[in-house]
Amino acid sequence: MTTPYQTPDYDNETPDYGPAPIKTEYKFSHVTTGRYLPTPGKAPGWPFADIGQWMIDANASSADWLAELKDWRREHLVRIGYDDGNYRRPELQWAQRNFVHAQMMVEDRYFYDPVKGEYTVDRYLDDLEARFGGLDSVLIWYIYPNIGIDDRNQFDLAHSLPGGLDGLRGAVQAFQKRGVKVFLPAKPWDHGTRDPGTTHWDGLAEIVKAVGADGINGDTFNGVPRAFFDACDKLGQPVVVQPESTISSEEQLIWNVQSWGKKAPDGPVPPVSKWKWLEPRHMVNYENRWGRNRNHDLQYIFFNGIGYNAWENIWGLYNRFTPRDGEALRRIAAIERQFAPLMVSLDWEPYQRSLQAGIFISRFPGAGRALWTLINRNEYAVDGEQLAVPHVEGARYFDAWNGVELQPRVIDGDAIVELPMEARGFGALLALHAGADEAGLSTFLQAMHDSAKTPLGGYSAAWKPVAQQQVAIAPTAAQALAPEGMLRIPAGEFLFQVGGIEIEGFNWAGQDFQYPWEDCPRRHHRQRMTLKSFHIDRYPVTNAQFKRFIDASGYWPKDDHNFLADWKDGAPRAGWDNKPVTWVSLEDARAYAQWAGKRLPHEWEWQYAAQGDDGRLYPWGDDWESGFLPRANRGRRLLPPDDVDAHPQGASPFGVEDMVGNVWQWTDEYQDEHTRAAVLRGGSAYQPQTSHWYFPQAYRLDQHGKYLLMAPCKDRSGCIGFRCVADAV
């Protein structure tokens, strides 16, 4: 007689290779502090992860496991004084159908067109529908990673979007018109920028109410505090709150009717979501932002009957779904949407008895029907008999994954169901009792049948980074002598070596920028270059110089929100003439340069002018000298920049001044299909405190900042200016 296997206590016992006891004691009360529950049928007493896995038999212990787990759930719901009232609130029940969610950067070029000056929500959604079946909800992300470039707080950045809150409300309504619910982000760590003068929950609730959003995403929250939920309720705008980092206190399950899930263990036996088990109506959107192969993620959500965070634009690095993963998500979502009430069944049971090794099955029963979801953990196809289900006279059976009706054999009261299962693939069985509602079923089955004509294996699973292109900078008329206010930089050989200081993204292909000589974006760059001579402004462009441009040209941008925001009555403040102009977009800076017969510098030109040919770390040398640049501002509000000529001792080997630490300076722009970003050089004096998530500084000459671009109104900053160059003979 075969006995079930039991995993030993690896920390306190030596392996026992004798027979295991008949019953497995899981003691869930002591082992469920994380996001996932321990799994049945673990390998025998081997202290190595990859030895003995072939012996795993989840069937042997799943009944004991499930009985113990039900006891654990009953106890824990009592311990937290559970009240399911929020799951029964009609205005919040949409969360139980929120199967495909996406965090979306406002800088995504599919979302906003800066040339036309309009939101393009339909374009964004059409693309996702074509590639993986579309969304049920979206998180509009407008804060990180640019926050901290100046003192605008998380609420100010909502007002900085094109059209302000009116524009954001229009975008929200465009999503809702397509049946997509909208979340806005909350940032508990934002205490270094401008004091908003209100609590985080009241401030965000006002914006949620103003734009008509449906939910709040708690960035870095382990459970969104009740204060956010109550603040929105108080304004008559009930919301679904959704923590990023799952839930830390079980009691928060009462008002966090949804959460993200992360990093499910990828072993031979798929794990069960703790929060889904405690409250089957709690919707988890599993998130694995950096995953290139998402097959395990998708198997996990299908097995648990939960949703997915289909997040691709990660702070400007586009981690696109592979065609195979996109098609798998499309089919999973189609099944979950079609049978949404079953996916939140209070009688859901994972680990149904499987007739094949490596096939794992969950059952989602409802009135007159039941759905079984199957996943194949093997790297080979497994066809034939997969499961035996109690047969009810008159019941009909359907292969919901392939869209066909089945005629299973009935043996000893069980329907023996055969289903094809691709390698690492999926399956679904629907059983309908006689008289059960079949509304929409034939249309759904036909759509699934059409999809199944191409197996998942027929789609590419290869991932590759999205290519970038540098935006061209037109040359100027070449001049032999340096124009007034400019210095001639001699031609020479230059070792251009620089790296991005993005907080996240590792050393991924796709991170940072792709220079013309590189085959993909990457964080670290090195190229030996021969540069022609050019002229460069000794100082950044000042307020007085920009005022002359405005007066002479009549320039005024169509999108003028935040344009020259620190000027008063159309002119620089008193005493500010010789300070660098700020609150100018990249487009504004280019307009000035064109008027002046100049252009913006390529990044390597800027670095050569600052560094010379000896690779020094700072314009003045290799040692940090705090007196050679403006004093750091670590307060919550911006201070005026220093005058551009205030620190001559910080000059570069060529005599170029104010290169570092006063205001960032615009240089090159790069674009890919979804993102525009500018290379910022030199850093600024502003250093907001309290969090490492703020836009990092790059004072060293071998470092640069990547600043995501959306629209001039949002891109303008009180800490970004520019200087110009001109070509030389």
Amino acid 4: pLDDT: 37
For range 39-63, the mean pLDDT: 70
Give tens-digit pLDDT for 516-555: 999 999 999 999 999 999 999 999 999 999 999 999 999 9
pLDDT band at residue 54 under the 50/70/90 scheme: confident
Task: Measure CA of the first residue to CA of the last residue in the chain; give whole Å.
Answer: 91
Give the SS3 label for residue 620.
Answer: coil
Determine, yes or no, domain membership for 65: yes
Q: How far is CA 325 from the centre of its chain?
A: 17
pLDDT at residue 20 is higher than 60:
no
For range 132-142, the mean pLDDT: 98
C-alpha count within 13 angstroms, C-beta hemisphere, residue 226: 7
pLDDT at residue 19 is higher than 80:
no
Share of the chain above pLDDT 90, in %: 89
Give tens-digit pLDDT for 175-195: 999 999 999 999 999 999 999
Beta-carbon contacts of 21 under 8 Å, excluding residues fewer than 6 positions away, are: 3, 6
For range 398-424, the mean pLDDT: 98
Query: CA dist 542 to 517, 538, 545, 576, 719, Å?
Result: 34, 11, 5, 9, 13
* 145 preceded by a cis bond (ω within 30 of 0): yes
Amino acid 36: pLDDT: 76
Give tens-digit pLDDT for 496-513: 999 999 999 999 999 999
Better-scored residue on pLDDT, 44 or 124: 124
CA atoms of 242 and 284, how far apart (whole Å): 9
Amino acid 263: pLDDT: 80
Amino acid 60: pLDDT: 86
CA atoms of 500 and 518, how far apart (whole Å): 15
Determine, yes or no, domain membership for 506: yes
Q: In the beta sheet, which residues pair with residue 725?
A: 536, 599
Give tens-digit pLDDT for 648-661: 999 999 999 999 99
Domain span at residue 523 reads 469-727
Using CA of residue 659, residue 661, residue 664, residue 668, what is the dihedral sign?
positive
* 119, 112 contact by CB (below 8 A): yes
Q: In the beta sheet, which residues pair with residue 686?
A: 633
Share of the chain above pLDDT 70, in %: 94
Better-scored residue on pLDDT, 247 or 31: 247
> How many domains in the chain?
2
**H helices within 378-460, ranges in order?**
441-452
Amino acid 23: pLDDT: 46
Give tens-digit pLDDT for 193-230: 999 999 999 999 999 999 999 999 999 999 999 999 99
The structure tokens listed for 545 are: 């110089």
For range 388-410, the mean pLDDT: 97
Beta-carbon contacts of 424 under 8 Å, excluding residues fewer than 6 positions away, are: 295, 299, 376, 377, 378, 379
pLDDT at residue 45 is higher than 90:
no
Give the SS3 label for residue 295.
Answer: helix
Determine, yes or no, domain membership for 459: no
pLDDT at residue 13 is higher than 60:
no
Q: For tokens 């929950």, name the residue.
A: 201
CA atoms of 547 and 561, how far apart (whole Å): 18
pLDDT band at residue 14 under the 50/70/90 scheme: very low
Beta-carbon contacts of 515 under 8 Å, excluding residues fewer than 6 positions away, are: 470, 525, 527
Cα angle: 170, vertex 172, 176; to 5 degrees: 115
The structure tokens listed for 176 are: 């809702």
Amino acid 436: pLDDT: 83
CA atoms of 348 and 37, how far apart (whole Å): 15
* 604, 493 contact by CB (below 8 A): no
Using CA of residue 521, residue 525, residue 529, residue 535, what is the dihedral sign?
positive
Give tens-digit pLDDT for 704-722: 999 999 999 999 999 999 9
For the domain that residue 617 is a member of, what is the CATH number?
Answer: 3.90.1580.10
Determine, yes or no, domain membership for 69: yes
- Give the range among 23-37, 115-129, 256-270, 693-707 with minimum mean pLDDT: 23-37
Helix (H) or strand (E) holding 727: strand 725-727
Better-scored residue on pLDDT, 578 or 45: 578
Single-letter residue type at 680:
L
Determine, yes or no, domain membership for 481: yes
* 387, 372 contact by CB (below 8 A): yes
For range 2-21, the mean pLDDT: 35
Give tens-digit pLDDT for 670-692: 999 999 999 999 999 999 999 99
pLDDT at residue 47 is higher than 70:
no
Determine, yes or no, domain membership for 463: no
**H helices within 596-686, ranges in order?**
603-611
CA atoms of 40 and 349, how far apart (whole Å): 13
* 438, 339 contact by CB (below 8 A): no
pLDDT band at residue 12 under the 50/70/90 scheme: very low
pLDDT band at residue 664 under the 50/70/90 scheme: very high
* 259, 232 contact by CB (below 8 A): no
CA atoms of 511 and 67, how far apart (whole Å): 48
Determine, yes or no, domain membership for 719: yes
For range 22-35, the mean pLDDT: 52
Determine, yes or no, domain membership for 550: yes
CA atoms of 76 and 279, how far apart (whole Å): 11
The structure tokens listed for 98 are: 């929120």
Query: CA dist 67 to 6, 25, 59, 341, Å?
Result: 17, 11, 14, 24
pLDDT at residue 318 is higher than 80:
yes
Give the SS3 label for residue 546.
Answer: helix
Beta-carbon contacts of 265 under 8 Å, excluding residues fewer than 6 positions away, are: 36, 271
Query: CA dist 566 to 341, 665, 716, Å?
Result: 55, 17, 11
pLDDT band at residue 33 under the 50/70/90 scheme: low
For range 579-588, the mean pLDDT: 98
pLDDT band at residue 563 under the 50/70/90 scheme: very high
For range 97-123, the mean pLDDT: 98
Give the SS3 label for residue 556.
Answer: coil
For range 583-596, the mean pLDDT: 98
CA atoms of 385 and 163, how far apart (whole Å): 59
Give tens-digit pLDDT for 458-470: 999 999 999 999 9
| Average pLDDT value over all residues in the chain | 93
